[in-house]
Structure 1
Amino acid sequence: MRPWLVTAVTVGLLTVGTATAAAAEDQLVLDHGHIDAFAVSWDGSALDLQLREDVTGDHVPHAPEDVLLQVRSESALELPDPVPPSLEFLGQPGDTVYYLPQTQDPNLIWPGWSTEGIPGGVFTNPLRIQVTDVTGPGDVFLWQTGSFGESISVLGGGFQLPGTLSPNVGVHAHANWAFSEQGTYSFTVQASGDLAGGGTATSTARTYAFQVGEAAEPAPATTLSVTGLADHYHSGDVATLTAVQDPVTELDHYHWFTRAPGSDEWVIVPDVGGDEYSFTATARHNGLAIIARLYDHDHNVVAESEPVTVVVDDHGEPEPPEPATQDIEVTLPADTGALVVAVDPADRRVTMSDLELSATGDRLVSTGDLRTVTVTDTRSTAPGWVVSAQVGDFAGEAETLRGGSLGWTPVVAEQPAGAGVTAGQAVASGFTGGDGIAAASTLASAAPGSGIGTSRLGAGLVIEAPTSLTPGTYTGTITFTVI
């Protein structure tokens, strides 16, 4: 285990930004050596933020987006028992962090910062390096170790990103930092400073990529094949073809296409969206080519099968006569449809919990759940809709509890894929002021162009009442409206 006491007194930071599971083909991967991750410079009119490294050469500059900073798996460090008090912010005994020390380890990257590219007298000290939009599977910690092993913040207080560094001009610095989980991390960095002659200069915001541990291998691409094709069919035989994924994914949306002999055009088979396609063979199917395509949730093609060709051979026998048929046609006019809000008549009573004294002792509190409210929109124009509700006062045997005592937190329990239904805002009980649900409040809504189909809505309910309320049962009615 590496010692926690680091005697160097320079301060620094590694920046991390957007990274993929594997580096892009044109992205430089650095997994060891000295790196000025934040290299701030002044060209006479503007601040610039670059990454400079001494791995492929001497102070080689790069756009931060062109570099993936790799922390090797051997940086893993198990926190001791007990964790030193100065490092308790990193976690509990036995937790693993991925640690880059303040002093250089030749087997790991040694990232820091530099403002040596800024001439004196241009800016007033200190400068600012702002680290924002930090994302990743865990937490990122940055700190300096003092001469006696104490942890010193480099962010103006605290040890966890996001935060702001405040270096002076002409600084070259390094620090400890640690990641709590393996994976890809990202954040945005921007440098700024106050000009000595007045005004402020700000660099372009840059993104940095950092991979902790080994990058996950991308999942193999799915291929699609069609099985079930017989060597040949006779007229009247039923052919059943099956689309097979390799490897199998959770996707299950397909379209089948046919191409007539001598044609270059693929025609979609209507009303077939699953992994099987069945048809009754006739002489006209002879030479018909068939493919299947697999689609993702955004209806993008994920995989396409190789064509298979149907052979129909009746061995010289005449084709059976065409059966007598009739076509049945039904139309749903474009301007028809309906918008309906409903509740189940057999499930329309909400039984709240008994009112009990709250933990604060200043009110009585009861909770419960709204019964399911169903909204169905079959209007082809999809103009959108809003479901709102309003409750009256709660009538009791001896007194009335005002409807404003009821508050809620709406939820969308179920909706069709892509329906775009959103829950309304939570409304607090009006116990300490306000109308609660006694004022019309939105349960859910769908913007124009969305909301088609059937959605099921609900809400968590809370009633807050004064401690002077007379014992008994109180009943109120909530009315739902859709427009």
Structure 2
Amino acid sequence: MRRRATALKAALLLLCGLAAPAHAAGAVVLSQGHTDAIDIRYTNGALQLRVNDDTVSPAVSRAVEDVTFQVLPGARTEVPGLDAFAFLGAPGTPIWMLPQVQDPALLWPGWNTTALASGTFRDDSIRLSLVGVDGPGAVTVFDTSSLGAPSVRFRTADGLPDHLDVPVHTHAHASWVFGATGHYTLTWRADAVLTDGTAVSTGPIDYRFLVGDARSLAVTGLAESYPAGQTVTLQAVQTPQGPSTDYRWYSRRPGTDAFTELPGETGAAYRFTATRALGNTEYQVRLADGTTSAPVTLHVTDDQGSGGTQKSVTASIDATAGALVISVLPADRAVVLPPAALSPAGDRWETGGALRPVTVTDTRAGTPGWSVSGQVSGGFRTADGASFGGEHLGWTPSLTSQGAQQGAVAGPVASGLASGALLASAPAGAGRGTAKLDAQLRLSVPTETAAGTYTGTLTLTAI
């Protein structure tokens, strides 16, 4: 018996950790190792500030807005009782310092002009300026000579802006000192004059610093509303990402005074089905150290959504012999992955999530069996044309349920879907009935992948 194939297309909207605004959950936090925090570049006639992240191998050039620099609690020290360091405050005053000489336990930031060519700028020099600081304490950047004498380069206590003329081919480090814990924004700019007299400037660029172990926690992934029956996926996001992954999820129904812990929910993601009874319920997540997110509120519409209807995509083989049907609910035809995070090795952006249910119903009399496969043949693309291939999206298939007489089995783990992979199959004689399929998706792309929101099409084919 000849069987016809049917293809169902579902758009997967991927919200990568690289996507703007990059200072959200997807931001990179640098807390240990060498980095050229102020990496000055001149590309296509434009002066730029970048971050050369040497904490990973190979080193990665990052956009400034993608980075938070963390001054760990171990940087705490006190102002020495020496007259030469009186510019830091009274002796014994606590300060948090990233020293000029590298301490492997701390971040080692510096500035760099080694990528600039001689003969491009007047006097072969760039003016680096600290033009503003917003934070809970004073900020000072100083270096010391070989004899230990300090030279202040930038200091908020006596007013800004402060300037430093930096020759090309310079790679320098200094001591960065912060007067209190908390969040800081340091605004830098670089200016120069080309040899033909043209002035070029980066304009003001904001750098984010976190001093100490302050941490925020947020819940992301909640849509404006859900039709009843749709799967809701909430994601806990730490900024910056800390070592604790011991989450606790809580909910508060309308009319109740307190949040109640949801038993057994200890992961970074909490998934559940929206029902009308859950409408206007608040959710929040907490860490074991007491850090608590702001609550988010679930809004649920009628079962059919806002005037919408459910529709199956069906492949018929014969009017008298039943049909093979593959379908998804309308609300499940778009999959939004949580913001990507840096891998433990620091060399990949990674995220994952559920494919959401795919239903296969076989009512054919001949019970010929069936298979369902998926392919991302066109890759993923942003609105401005950045892209990566479907080989970066893989899955781990699973069977959610199947009929009593079915013998369907999930397909193998696939590291990439560019050339297609099996989601599930049922052998001849054991396919008749209804099976629900799912998969855990895994996206992994190199760190040099351009920031953006990437959209791709996954084609599911049942034969």
Give the TM-score of the pair, scaled to structure 1.
Answer: 0.41
Give the TM-score of the pair, scaled to structure 2.
Answer: 0.43
- The structure whose Rg is larger is 1
Q: Which is richer in strand?
A: 2
Higher relative contact order (CA 8 A, sep 6+): 2
